[in-house]
Amino acid sequence: MLLQLNNVFKTFGGIVAINNLSFEVRNNQILGLIGPNGAGKTTVFNCITGIYKPEKGTIYFDGKNITGLKPHVISKLGIARTFQTIRLFPSMSVAENIMAGRHTKCRQTWFDSLIRTPKYFKDEKENWLKIKYYIDLLKLSEYTTSIVSSLPYGLQRKVEIARALASEPKLLILDEPAAGLNNKETQELVDLIYQIKAMGITILLIEHDMDMMMSLAEYIIVMNFGEKIAEGIPSEIQSNPQVIEAYLGSE
Amino acid sequence: MEIFLQQIVNGLAIGSIYALVAIGYTMVYGVMKLINFAHGDLVALAAYVGLTVLMQAFGMHLSNLWAVILMFTVTAMFISLFGIILERLAYRPLRKAPRLSAVVSALGASLAIENGIMLIWGPNIKVFPSNIFPSTRWHISGVVINSTQIAILLLSIILMIALYIFINRTKIGTAIRASAIDQDAAKLMGINVNGIIIAIFALGSFLGSIGGLFIGIYYRELYFQMGWIYGLNAFIAAIIGGIGNIPGAMLGGMLLGIFNVLIAGYVSNTWSEALTFALLIIILIIKPTGILGERVAEKV
Amino acid sequence: MRKNLVWYILFFTIAVIYPHFVDPSWVDIGTTFALYSVVALSQDIVLGKAGMFDMGHATFFGIGAYTAAILNTVYNIPIIYTIPIAIALSALFGIIISWPIIHLRGDYLLVATIGFNIIFYQALQNNLFGLTGGPNGIFGIGAPVIFGINISSQRAIYYFAWFILLITMLIIYNIDKSKLGRAFHYLRESEIAAESFGVNKRFYKVLAFALGAGVASLAGVIFAVQYAAVSPETFNFTQSVLFFTIVIVGGPSSIPGILLGTFVMFVVPQFFREFATARYFVFGIAMILTMILRPQGIWPAKFGKLPKYLTKES
């Protein structure tokens, strides 16, 4: 068990965003989280990554209680994410953006940075070479020095994933990675996600593209109004009447 | 106790001037997220323009009342127009620029206005005549209130109520509030955001000009750098109340006026600015958005 | 990189021969230019790199100058020893001041830093603890002695100031090309993304203030030496506005931009001394025009300068 949510509860100004949600993610699984808009999926991600603090319930990651820890601490434990609305560092280059993923892996202290100790040089070289690896992996080498805000949407999504991978996470959280991508790009993304799984990384995925979700996810959690309404393997979910009702509305 | 009440009365008079000026900061900030550092100098300019108009009016042998009315109307019109032109020239070209570039533009405008005042009226102190309002005083259980204070308080309260009704009950007011919440959404709803920004600059400058004239009438001494210090106090008032929030600016102004007077009266004159800022910092630490400001959560 | 190096060598070469061709008042301007550049570069760590709206940086400049002045005139400590004390004290102040306000967003932080500057200024004016000398300040500050050389002549101080500028530029350059600088940039560009990738927000923001305060303080010590005196006026809020403007006008997070900014905001007005009355009027309008024409600053920072082994085709 890599990630475990127990009765997580979160409100915003009296409105319940997540109501006693529990689920588990197994090692190296691709787990999908689906639900209509406003079901609270992104809020779940924000609770896991520490951006929000759940009011009740616990979250365990890799055997450690991470409930309410700061995002930077949780990141260090091996959770990386992408954002629903892309959050890159807009005026910086592709390589510098991906380098953010290496922040917790860089060993130089601020003092090494300041006066350039031998450790600094070794550390910089090691980590930049890692960046080169991820740039090549995502076929971004053409754009290494490009400023990210000048790149098309599809490429920005790729940079976000590269940045997340560069942190060598145990768990990768993808928040609607296919949003705004064309068919070809979506297919590339599916291949990439398989590739990431093959690297031994566990994947937690929110996606509105049902075809993609059904083919990709090994297990699916369905949310509506902040609650879990169903879970199971894709074929079970597709035939679940509650899920169909949530998506199509009851008669 | 009487001294204390007297201080409160004095504080309210000063506070209402701060409040009038603070509204200009808060409205501009609410819609444009810009600290209009030139606002204080616009207030100073109003005092100088007002003095000139008043002298001209006296020169034409107008009665006291008519001279004062003329001073208020001409100054208010001139400063409102000035505010609109300032926005057009110094801020609109920077609407899409990094926020701090617009701040520097505002600082430049402030410097230009301040030194423009010096070039026109000279570096020496100018003095407002003392007989603008009748020298009547009222004694109410040991507290002395003069007619200037009454006029300032009354006129400020009337203006603020009028503004409150305008903002909350009229179509333009609603558009201003909508633009403050979300400019892009307001645009999509067909609100002319440019028009709204012109309106808030006109309104803010109008109220600021009244504040500036009150400063002239109440303190009487005008110096070309005075915009900074009054502006800074009014700006603090806006933040204490919760910047972007119009009733907050009024409340903040009154509170700061009373605080300033009490500090000067009971604690120390030489530490007054430091204590004002200490108060501000403490309020910011306890409630970062000011008394009436709401925390806007960032959507992730 | 090569090309930049050539320009920097040219810049410092000119600086080295400059005092031999101008009269003493312009040597002083050259010294102050170097010191103001150091302060502006230190302000830029906080404002340009970490993206925190700091409009009270003259406080730290002043802490340096007053620490040196008080230690030297009251306790007879040689100037050279006051340098590390001043840096440490100012950095400590940077930490203490920024700690409680670091979570404030944008303009609220700006106002809080203005507040600290005004409190500092009034403390100097009011002769706090009987040490600051009130409105007149402190006179008779000595000169540093390094390796037996007494840095007291105008030219010696000039070269010392430029040496400090060189060191500061190297430090800033090192910050930019390292984990430390990248962490600052990430925080400025997107706080949430930065935190989500392990950047400890509070640590780096306070560190930015501490570093900025330390470097500004170093410039303050030399400034006190240059005039052999300190007075509150040089460290008031208007001075902070100047440093703030230098960074934004020049180009945040850009070393050449900030040097240019200091030149434009501090040296250029010196040419127009004769037009004393009108110059600031024109200057204010020039500030507006500069921002309209160059909203990113005169010489904006460029990102994407990466190590060779990363960019070359393999």
Q: How confident is the model at residue B62 (pLDDT cuts 50, 70, 90)?
A: confident
pLDDT band of A208, cuts 50, 70, 90:
confident
Task: Report helix angle B147-169 to B193-219, nearest 10.
Answer: 170
Position A151 scores a pLDDT of 95
pLDDT-flagged residues of chain C (< 70): 1-2, 312-314
Task: Say yes or no to pLDDT of B191 above 80.
Answer: yes
CB contacts of A12 in chain B (<8 Å) are 297
Count of helix runs (H) and strand runs (E) in chain C: 14, 4
Round to whole Å and give the CA distance between A232 and A234. 6
Average pLDDT score over residue span A224-233: 92
> Residue A111's CB: how many other CB atoms inside 10 A?
11
Asked if the C-beta of B297 comes within 8 angstroms of chain A's C-beta atoms, the answer is: yes
pLDDT-based confidence at residue B46 (cuts at 50, 70, 90): very high
Query: What is the mean predicted confidence (pLDDT) over A30-52?
Result: 92
ipTM for this prediction: 0.93
Question: What is the per-residue burial (b if ≥16 Cβ within 10 Å, else e) of A2-28?
Answer: bbbbeebbbeeeeeebbbebebbbeee
A181 CA to centre of own chain: 17
The residue ranking higher by pLDDT, A21 or B139, is A21
At C242-251, the pLDDT tens digits run 999 999 999 9
> Tens digits of per-residue pLDDT, B266-286?
888 888 889 999 999 999 998
- pLDDT score of C314: 47
Query: Chain A 30-69, CB below 8 Å of chain B: which residues?
Result: 42, 46, 51
Query: Which chains have 3 or more CB–CB distances shorter than 8 Å to chain C?
Result: A, B
- Is C97 touching B (CB cutoff 8 A)? no
Closest-CA residue to B30 (of B300, B222, B290, B299): B290
B120 falls in which pLDDT band (50, 70, 90)?
A: very high
Q: Of how many residues is chain B composed?
A: 300
Flag whether residue B300 sits within 8 Å of chain A, measured between CB atoms: yes
Does the domain at A3-78+169-248 match CATH 3.40.50.300? Answer given as yes
- State the pLDDT confidence band at B297, using cuts at 50, 70 and 90: low
**Rounded to a whole number, what is the distance in Å from the CA of C185 to chain A's nearest CA?**
8
pLDDT, residue A20, reads 93
| CA–CA distance, B148 with B128 (Å, rounded to integer) | 13
- Residue C26: partners with Cβ closer than 8 Å, 6 or more residues away: none
pLDDT score of B175 more than 60: yes
CB contact under 8 A, B271 and C126: yes
Q: Which residues of A touch C192 (CB under 8 A)?
A: 51, 71, 83, 87
Closest-CA residue of C relative to A110 is C180
Question: What pTM does this model have?
Answer: 0.92
Nearest one of A228, A176, A219 to A197, comparing CA atoms: A219
DSSP output for B97-134? S-HHHHHHHHHHHHHHHHHHHHHHH-SS-EE--S-SS-
Task: Name the residue among C144, C167, C166, C139 with its Cα closest to residue C156.
Answer: C144
Token code pair at residue C49: 């790199």
Q: Kindly calculate the radius of gyration of chain C based on its CA atoms and give it in whole angstroms.
A: 19
Catalogue the long-range contacts made by B149-156 (C-beta closer than 8 Å, 24 or more residues apart): B149/B9, B149/B10, B149/B13, B149/B218, B151/B217, B152/B13, B152/B16, B152/B17, B152/B214, B152/B217, B152/B218, B153/B12, B153/B13, B153/B16, B155/B210, B155/B214, B156/B16, B156/B17, B156/B19, B156/B20, B156/B210, B156/B214
Q: Are strands A219-224 and B143-146 parallel, antiparallel or unpaired?
A: unpaired
Residues of A in contact with B300 (CB under 8 A): 42, 46, 51, 83
pLDDT level of residue B181 (50, 70, 90 thresholds): confident
Domain ranges in chain A are: 3-78+169-248, 90-159
Q: Which two tokens stand for residue B198?
A: 């012109």
Contact A96 C179 (CB under 8 A): no
Q: For residue B105, what pLDDT band results from cuts at 50, 70 and 90?
A: very high
Q: Which CATH number fits domain B2-286: 3.30.160, 1.20.1260, 1.10.3470, 3.40.50?
A: 1.10.3470
Question: ∠ CA C55-B227-B109 to the nearest 5 degrees?
Answer: 65
pLDDT digits (tens, 9 = 90+) for C278-308: 888 988 999 999 999 999 999 988 887 887 7
Which residues of chain A are within 8 Å of residue C195 when distances are taken between CB atoms? Answer: 50-51, 70-72, 75
